[in-house]
A and B are shown apart, each in its own frame.
Chain A
Amino acid sequence: MARIIVVTSGKGGVGKTTTSASISTGLAQKGYKTAVIDFDVGLRNLDLIMNCERRVVYDFVNVIQGEATLNQALIRDKRVDNLYILPASQTRDKEALTHEGVEKVLNEMSETFDYLVCDSPAGIEHGALMSLYFADEAIVVTNPEVSSVRDSDRILGILQSKSRRAERGDDPVKEHLLLTRYNHERVERGEMLSIEDVNDILSIPLLGVIPESQAVLNASNQGAPVILDEDTEAGQAYEDAVARLLGEERELRFLDPQKKGFLKRMFGG
């Protein structure tokens, strides 16, 4: 039985796909057979981040509609063992992700995988709802910024009322907060919400803090999830998040303010 993890946010562009790519890669590196599934029908992007855009033949919707088998559609990652990608369709509309269809595919994948990571589209429409409905756990990706925090709270409400676990009255979906694009210097200057601020408002367990980093852009340029870039802070922060997801306790890193010069300190820089 696979554990189903949705990566969700409500708000667009906060780092869901970046996170899905790195978390799934990290889980596979730890030896778990993992698939990352792109639910963003019409706007597929995960394939680019995972560097398999030229190997896509069949997609998620083809499998749902019986035009391809799961094995035909799954793309095996060339760098990391145990890692597979199920790309989204670019041509169909989101309604092609039917409830029964998604359930059937997830059930079939559950038989052979340990983890299924679902990359949600932005918004709270059909595609986003489908990606979270079957989840056992949710990684709520949030930027330290008002609209992102508010949307995350919306999504938490949906997880608590509209997921399969909620409808069945099972144990609730396990919630994790992943704060991304965090800039410690700006927090120090009072220009950006701090970890504590966001925690006070959302009050769900913190999975990790990913710093705002050029390494993320470099990684997506090259089509390599940033977690593979082990020398970077963002890569290491994702590695920590994966370890915590698996139950390990790790201290938060990379949050010490940079050593400030005397003048800067004097003038509150």
Chain B
Amino acid sequence: MSFFDYFKTKKQTSASIAKERLQIIVAHERNTRDQPDYLPELQQELLEVIRRYVAIRDDQVQVQLDKNDSCSVLELNVTLPENER
């Protein structure tokens, strides 16, 4: 590696930043578009139920359906606020 190449590889190019950002957002969007239509409503209702007991923000409940060949797994993630624990 030449002296100049050394400095070049040190700094991340804007194109490589663009690629990384795209990989993340595209993976996320592909995942959500394969989700069943009822998921947002399910998420909303779960949120309401949990709110009867704990005050949480909208984004603290995540619902996701993972499909395998043999079965589907409904994954539910609830993040509780610090002071409620």
What residues make up the interface of A, taking CB atoms closer than 8 Å to B? 145-146, 149-150, 153-154, 157, 161, 187, 189-194, 197, 200-201, 266-268
Contacts and interface: CB of A to CB of B under 8 A. Distances in A.
Interface of B: 4, 8, 13-16, 18-19, 21-23, 25-26, 29-30, 33
16 contacts: A150-B25, A150-B26, A150-B29, A153-B26, A153-B30, A154-B29, A157-B33, A190-B15, A193-B18, A193-B22, A197-B15, A200-B19, A200-B23, A201-B19, A201-B26, A268-B8
B13 A191 contact: yes
Contact of A267 (B4, B16, B25, B26): B4
A188 to B, nearest CB: 10
Closest 10 A/B residue pairs (Cβ): A190-B13, A197-B19, A190-B15, A157-B33, A153-B26, A146-B18, A201-B22, A193-B15, A149-B22, A201-B26
A187 B14 CA distance: 10
A201 B23 contact: yes
Given A149-B22, A150-B26, A197-B19, 4 more contacts: A190-B14, A191-B13, A193-B15, A267-B4
A149 B30 CA distance: 13
Contacts of B21: 146
Contacts of A157: 29-30, 33
B30 A192 contact: no
B16 to A, nearest CB: 7
A153 B19 contact: no
A179 to B, nearest CB: 14
Q: Which of A191, A197, A266 has the most CB of B within 10 A?
A: A197
Contacts of A145: 18
Given A157-B30, A268-B4, A150 B22 contact: yes
A190 B16 contact: yes
A150 B26 CA distance: 6
Nearest to B12: A190
A149 B33 CA distance: 16
B27 to A, nearest CB: 9
A266 B8 CA distance: 11
Nearest to A158: B33
A55 B57 CA distance: 60
B4 A191 contact: no
Contacts of B25: 150
B53 to A, nearest CB: 37
Contacts of A194: 15
A150 B27 CA distance: 10
A216 B26 CA distance: 30
Given A193-B18, A201-B19, A153 B29 contact: yes
Contact of B15 (A153, A192, A266): A192
